Amino acid sequence: MMGAKILAAAGVALMIGLSGCASGPTADVSRFHSNQPISRGTLFLEAADPSVAGSLEARTHGETVAVEMRRLGYQTVNSRDQAQFIATVGVTQQDLEIPSGRRGTTPKRTITLNVRISTAETGTAVWEGRASQTVSPGSREADLTYAIPALASVLFRDFPGIPGVTQQVRI
């Protein structure tokens, strides 16, 4: 009888422990648009920071966003002249020290992916969004080759999203 109670308690503790693991990493996602249907068409991607335009890093981040955009029905093109829309892609990293009680501070890194889609003809923004994640600097999630695809996935999930609301989304 006592063994059955211990076994049941151990099972409950295991389920609670596993439910905590299931929550996983999250990102803060914000989207802005006029709440009108957003048409699809040809899309040219460019770096938000002109100093990195054409770099391997900027092209890699751009292609990550392009994969999501193609999934949504956009056709990516290699020339601004061919595009109906321009997607401007920016990636930032910020290292922080987060207070951690008596132990002092804990280093953290915030990685943010920003995307702005505007019309090629007028430059008017039709959609803007950002996804941010704060992680430990030495973790897998702090590696941009892991972080940017994860952030792009949550940023474009349920596109165009609820405008003007920041949501915490599971990655």
Q: Is residue 81 part of a domain?
A: yes
Q: Is residue 4 part of a domain?
A: no
Domains: count for the chain: 1
Cβ atoms 45, 83 nearer than 8 A: no
Q: Is residue 2 part of a domain?
A: no
Q: Is residue 33 part of a domain?
A: yes
Q: Is residue 79 part of a domain?
A: yes
Q: How far apart are CA 91 and CA 55, in angstroms?
A: 13
Q: Is residue 18 part of a domain?
A: no
Look up the domain containing 47 and give its range.
24-170
Q: Is residue 5 part of a domain?
A: no
Average the pLDDT over each of 63-67, 101-105, 155-159 and give the range with the smallest value. Answer: 101-105
Give the CA count within 13 Å in the CB-facing half-sphere of 129: 28
Cβ atoms 120, 76 nearer than 8 A: no
Give 100-137 pLDDT, tens digit per residue. Answer: 888 789 999 999 999 999 999 999 999 999 999 999 99
User: Residue 135: which CATH number?
Assistant: 3.30.160.670
Q: How far apart are CA 119 and CA 86, in angstroms?
A: 6
Q: Has this prediction a pTM greater than 0.85?
A: no
